[in-house]
Amino acid sequence: MQFAAYIATSLEGYIARVDGSIDWLEQAGLSTPQGEDYGYADFMASVDCLIMGRATFDMVRTFAEYPYQGKRVIVLSRTLTVVPKGFKDKVELHGSSLTALLAKLEHDGHQRAYVDGGKTIQTFIKTGLLDELIITRVPVLIGAGLPLFGGVDNDVMNDVMLEHLSTRSYANGFVQSRYWLTRPDARTS
């Protein structure tokens, strides 16, 4: 099974403001040329399920329209024990180990998952589970925020080598890079 992340950051590497807001990303999206989705539709077609953290799910719950119709969505949370009203047929909760989740997904026949949310992406990297990382850098400086890679304890995580697959720049200044993560000898959790 493969795990891939597709995420946008400010130029400084923030995925959201300190309060979790992504208004800067929504504002930057206004400069998107008509019909351009930065490869998102192709990426979504390449995955058969999504795994997101609780904070990301809380953000998704505020969207006017649910964006993951037809995909299995697993929300990682040890504190959320009941799926919120309106999402019972859209998401499922998982509160135990990633090893257990991986076994369940493989048993259910899944082959490629979209991993979303800063802490969730960090956890998948630390455990050696993340295979591919697609980062779109947005030409905006927001000054402070939640870093994609910040707060990682180097005593827990060794250097992670990445193989650069491609970089594409867009007319509006967005720059998207794809990386393959070099795996440790064996996956751990």
Tens-digit pLDDT string for the chain (189 aa):
999 999 999 999 999 999 988 999 888 877 888 888 999 999 999 999 999 999 999 989 988 889 999 999 999 999 888 888 889 899 999 988 898 999 999 999 999 999 999 999 999 998 889 999 999 999 999 999 999 986 545 555 577 889 999 999 999 999 999 999 986 554 444
Q: Is 187 inside any structural domain?
A: no
Within 30-182, residue ranges assigned H as helices are 40-45, 54-60, 98-107, 118-126
Within the chain, residue ranges assigned H as helices are 23-29, 40-45, 54-60, 98-107, 118-126
CATH number of the domain bearing residue 171: 3.40.430.10
Q: How many domains does the chain have?
A: 1
Q: Is 56 inside any structural domain?
A: yes
Q: Is 189 inside any structural domain?
A: no
Q: State the pTM of this model.
A: 0.88
| Domain range enclosing 78 | 2-181
Cα(135)–Cα(123) distance, integer angstroms:
17
Beginning with the edge strand found earlier in the chain, give each strand of the sheet holding 175-181 in spatial order: 92-94, 72-76, 49-53, 112-116, 2-10, 132-138, 175-181, 162-169
